[in-house]
Copies of this chain bind each other. A is one copy, B any other.
């Protein structure tokens, strides 16, 4: 019997551990956590290794509530197609979550990255946030790279979730420099293009998650956690209310006309 020549590769984690008689997460026993904290706090704990304060928990919950559903948008359509095909609930949800690509939740991540990188430069240079915002807008326009986090095709007058989240972030004392920078970019963008293109949900998440101290690499994850619940609801509705095997969309064929391999 031959053995593979695989070198050992260690598995290690600071997040959690199961033992024969316990599960610990970041040093806390699972019993302690189940009895005392809510899910929003647990998310903060696994990502940061520390518990949030009360207002941070409220802000995380507000973010998760805001994106739980958006009617039958593409992620929901995907989950429902999969449910209708008889794929199980984990596949229906997983498939829908694959929708959070670079042009969807990915904008959230890109926005958070840009805010965090620019803020670091502000820290070093002592520049003002307003000046930095003007510079960001100018650079994007010069290099013709679209700014992430603005506009929404389904909400031409502005994504209704963004202002509510920013207001909540201010009430809870979470809104800080990242939110300031984001809103300054919105103002500078308006000056530059001559009309307001409001911050969307991606921009709001990017700014507020940065103000909560999260690395941009996890920003997209928050909409994924949130929407997993909405997709579960759409899975359930599809399998209980609709006939199986949902048809695909009506489409046009624009390829070559009839031809034959052998005449």
Per-position 1/0 for A53-75, Cβ under 8 A of B: 00000001110111011111110
Given the complex, which residues of B lie within 8 Å of A251, measured CB to CB?
Answer: 3-4, 6, 10-13, 71-72
Complex CA–CA separation, A97 to B91 (angstroms): 8
Q: Is the CB of A77 within 8 A of B248?
A: yes
Given the complex, which residues of B lie within 8 Å of A233, measured CB to CB?
Answer: 15, 46-47
Q: Is the CB of B85 within 8 A of A88?
A: no
Interface size of A in residues (CB-CB distance below 8 Å): 137
Q: Is the CB of B93 within 8 A of A252?
A: no
Binds B, one of A124-132, A137-145, A175-183, A254-262: A254-262
- Number of identical protomers: 4
Given the complex, which residues of B lie within 8 Å of A147, measured CB to CB?
Answer: none
Complex CA–CA separation, A203 to B237 (angstroms): 24
Listed in ascending order, the chain A residues whose CB lies under 8 Å from chain B are 1-40, 42-43, 46-47, 49, 51, 60-62, 64-66, 68-74, 76-78, 80-82, 84-95, 97-106, 109, 153-158, 160-161, 164-165, 168, 215, 217-218, 220-221, 224-226, 228-230, 232-237, 239-240, 244-262
| A5-B154, A78-B82, A85-B104 given; 4 more Cβ-contact pairs under 8 Å | A1-B253, A6-B247, A46-B69, A77-B249
